[in-house]
A and B are shown apart, each in its own frame.
Chain A
Amino acid sequence: MITQPNLLEPGKDLKKRYRTDRWFQRIGITAITLALAFIALLFYKIITEGYTAFIQTKIMLEVDFSEQTFAKENLAAADYPALVKKSLSELFPEVTGRNDKKLLFGLVSSGAAYKLEEMVSANPKIIGTRQKVWVPAASDVDMLMKNKIDRNAPQENRRLQDNQLAWLDNLHNQGKLEKQFNQTFFTSGDSRDPEMAGILGGVKGTFLTLLITLTLAFPIGVAAAIYLEEFAPQNHWTDFIEVNINNLAAVPSIIFGLLGLAVFINFFGLPRSTSIVGGLVLALMTLPTIIIAGRASLKSVPPSIREAALGVGASKMQTVTHHVLPLAMPGMLTGGIIGMARALGETAPLLMIGMVAFIVDIPGAISDPATLLPVQIYLWADSPERGFTEKTSAAIIMLLAFLMTMNSLAIYLRKRFEIKW
């Protein structure tokens, strides 16, 4: 006997069903809210920690590029640190003691001398003139200006002495101590001194390495996916290969680093710490992801399109290149970007091939020693100096910016390739 449901008074069953629906929705909304909250927290933390790295404290010195300093032919042989010291002494003639002088000279970064050298080599005509130059302050001064050193703490717990504070206040009042945009951060490589350390080495290394990864992994991955999906016979061999590709996608990345060390560096003798080896290792790591995504997107192309093409007499290859591939391309690009994003964030395999080395020079070619953004973050996070804390966050911001640029490019490409049905 079936009781007909009443339209006006639905039974308890129905209410229960609706309650389950509502619960499911609530759980979903909670999950999304939580996820967004954590992302917001992450961004807030990184940005508030990191934005100070984009500004830097500088001290204005009046430097006397006197001709006797540059008596020798070789401009690089001149004693630039002495120039800095001389102009500091001119600012504070009352400082005489050896210890006090050492403290005074400690206010300016060792990078100030390099700055002067750069100026002279760029424009030798300034020799024999007096120039006003903004030079970077020492990291401790920078930290003080950014309120990261407590000036009210007792002197023995403070990295700056009382008299140093007094000199700085003096400079500040004269307008010779200022926070300015930190160009150094974007134009130089790594350094032992936080105020001289920049991200350009990491950015360029990342760019070169990912370029190699992309140019190797994407075409090979797409070709492999097309062969396996469209041409390969269905037999035990292809099953075996498929299982292995799926397994490779789940192999811990450090194993790929070991492979790179054993094969590319030890066997083929490629130079260690270089973008080429890093790119090869990351390409190997990314390949399975691209192949799997590529096969999935090829599978999602309706078979009717293949039949239509074959039916008018297109060859197998024409069917694939004219019809199937254009339809599968957006999915393949997505897979490629997922793979590249993973490669971008990878540190572990790079440790194995020596990319964790301290590299000051900015790589100019794929065979130059290089470091990558994630490795740079790791290195800075590991450094004891207070000044590297903000650099770490700033480097993370750069990494995220890199990732977003790549993703937006991918979305743009996908939209362009997408074929409306």
Chain B
Amino acid sequence: MDVTASRMTDQIFPIVAVGDSAEAHERMHVRPLDRKTIGSPFVDNPRMMCRDVDVFYGDKQAINKVSIDVGQNQVLAMIGPSGCGKSTFLRCLNRMNDTVSSCRVQGEISLDGIDIYHSSVDVVPLRARVGMVFQKPNPFPKSIYDNVAYGPRIHGLTRDKNELDEIVHTSLIKAGLWEEVKDRLREPGTGLSGGQQQRLCIARAIAVGPEVILMDEPCSALDPIATAKVEELIAELRTQFSIVIVTHAMQQASRVSQRTAYFHLGDLIEVGPTEKIFTNPGHKLTEDYITGRFG
């Protein structure tokens, strides 16, 4: 009897109260009045610059006056609770949001000093220079070779078959996948394991020679071992590319990134060196999030 009763109580009040959680709970749902980003959003010699970026879905504002730089050969991690706009912001960086008809972007985002939302900028070369890796591995239902070769082919990057082979080879090596797939390049990419598929998607993205790689929760569909491999890969890729990664796992952010940005309900709350964000956050919201009070 007693056992049943206590179990029922648990079901009715599933959250175990600890200290000031009610206060944190409230903070999570109320947008702070003071919206000024604290920390160090700007870096010297940035690859991409975002200034006062607003994003609207119809009438709803999803991103509110965000200004941040993406540094060269750095990993910038974007963290924050679900629905805080970090993925939306990420997709503004290569204009993937153009495909959403209700989406409107204001402000300035520039790549190497050129405003990517300028009317004369074409999205096709932009997306070749700012590549993207998605949450769920999404290789084309084609062979491993064709998956990697697709980008170079449509952009006309190679003159002959040998050059293409070379690009596929180096891309797969950079993505740490070559040893695993070198004997089955003609087999379908969809036949690989989840982690291999995600690395194939990374190889596909780097095959067109981008400067920036955007990663939207690249490990959320992977097991810990595959995640570790992708994280190692990110650390290596940093030497050649600038990387922006959205992640839910805070440990991952602390492991792979040099700078971390904390988003909250469409506002950029705090940006700083990763170590500082995780050891000595400057804002109460950041602290609440990284200590696990909400998220």
Q: Interface with A: B72-80, B137-145, B242-250, which one? A: B137-145
Partner of A308, one of B126, B139, B154, B188: B139
Q: Are B128 and A312 in contact (CB under 8 A)?
A: yes
Chain B 106-131 interface 0/1 with A at a Cβ cutoff of 8 Å (1 = within): 00000000000000000111111001
Q: How far is the CA of A323 from the CA of B140 in the complex (A)?
A: 8
Q: How far is the CA of A315 from the CA of B96 in the complex (A)?
A: 12
Task: Return A330 CB to nearest CB of chain B, in Å.
Answer: 12
A residues less than 8 Å from B27 (CB atoms): none
B residues less than 8 Å from A327 (CB atoms): 141
Interface assignment of A313: CB less than 8 Å from any CB of chain B: yes
A residues less than 8 Å from B207 (CB atoms): 312
Which partner residue on chain B sits nearest A306 by CB separation?
B99
Chain A 290-313 interface 0/1 with B at a Cβ cutoff of 8 Å (1 = within): 000000000000101111111111
Given known A-B contacts A234-B101, A420-B188, A313 and B125 have beta carbons under 8 A apart:
yes
Interface assignment of A233: CB less than 8 Å from any CB of chain B: yes
Interface assignment of B134: CB less than 8 Å from any CB of chain A: yes
Interface assignment of A33: CB less than 8 Å from any CB of chain B: no
Size class of A's contact patch? 20 to 34
Q: Are A315 and B124 in contact (CB under 8 A)?
A: yes
Which partner residue on chain A sits nearest B132 by CB separation?
A311
Interface assignment of A75: CB less than 8 Å from any CB of chain B: no
Report the count of interface residues on B (CB-CB < 8 A): 31
Q: Are B188 and A309 in contact (CB under 8 A)?
A: no
Which partner residue on chain A sits nearest B5 by CB separation?
A1
Identify which of B96, B99, B128 gathers the most chain A CB atoms within 10 Å of its CB.
B99
Q: Are A312 and B127 in contact (CB under 8 A)?
A: yes
Chain B 134-168 interface 0/1 with A at a Cβ cutoff of 8 Å (1 = within): 10101111000000001100110000000000000
Interface assignment of B47: CB less than 8 Å from any CB of chain A: no
Interface assignment of B205: CB less than 8 Å from any CB of chain A: yes
Interface assignment of A165: CB less than 8 Å from any CB of chain B: no
Q: Are A304 and B134 in contact (CB under 8 A)?
A: yes
Q: How far is the CA of A99 from the CA of B139 in the complex (A)?
A: 87
Interface assignment of A41: CB less than 8 Å from any CB of chain B: no
Interface assignment of B220: CB less than 8 Å from any CB of chain A: no
Task: Return A131 CB to nearest CB of chain B, in Å.
Answer: 66
Q: Are A312 and B150 in contact (CB under 8 A)?
A: yes
Which partner residue on chain B sits nearest A308 by CB separation?
B138
Q: Are B140 and A309 in contact (CB under 8 A)?
A: yes
Q: Are A310 and B99 in contact (CB under 8 A)?
A: yes
Task: Return B263 CB to nearest CB of chain A, in Å.
Answer: 21
Q: How far is the CA of A322 from the CA of B140 in the complex (A)?
A: 10
Q: Are A307 and B140 in contact (CB under 8 A)?
A: no
A residues less than 8 Å from B237 (CB atoms): none
Interface assignment of A318: CB less than 8 Å from any CB of chain B: yes
Task: Return B246 CB to nearest CB of chain A, in Å.
Answer: 14
Interface assignment of B61: CB less than 8 Å from any CB of chain A: no
Task: Return A376 CB to nearest CB of chain B, in Å.
Answer: 45
Task: Return A67 CB to nearest CB of chain B, in Å.
Answer: 75
Q: Are B134 and A313 in contact (CB under 8 A)?
A: no
A residues less than 8 Å from B196 (CB atoms): none
6 contacts between A and B (CB under 8 A): A304-B134, A305-B141, A311-B132, A313-B125, A313-B127, A323-B140
3 nearest A-B residue pairs (beta carbon): A304-B138, A313-B127, A312-B151
B residues whose Cβ falls under 8 Å from a Cβ of A: 4, 94, 96, 99, 101, 123-128, 131-134, 136, 138-141, 150-151, 154-155, 188, 190, 201, 204-205, 207-208
With A311-B132, A312-B154, A313-B155 already in contact, 9 other A-B pairs whose C-beta atoms are closer than 8 Å = A233-B101, A234-B101, A307-B99, A307-B138, A309-B150, A310-B96, A313-B128, A313-B154, A318-B154
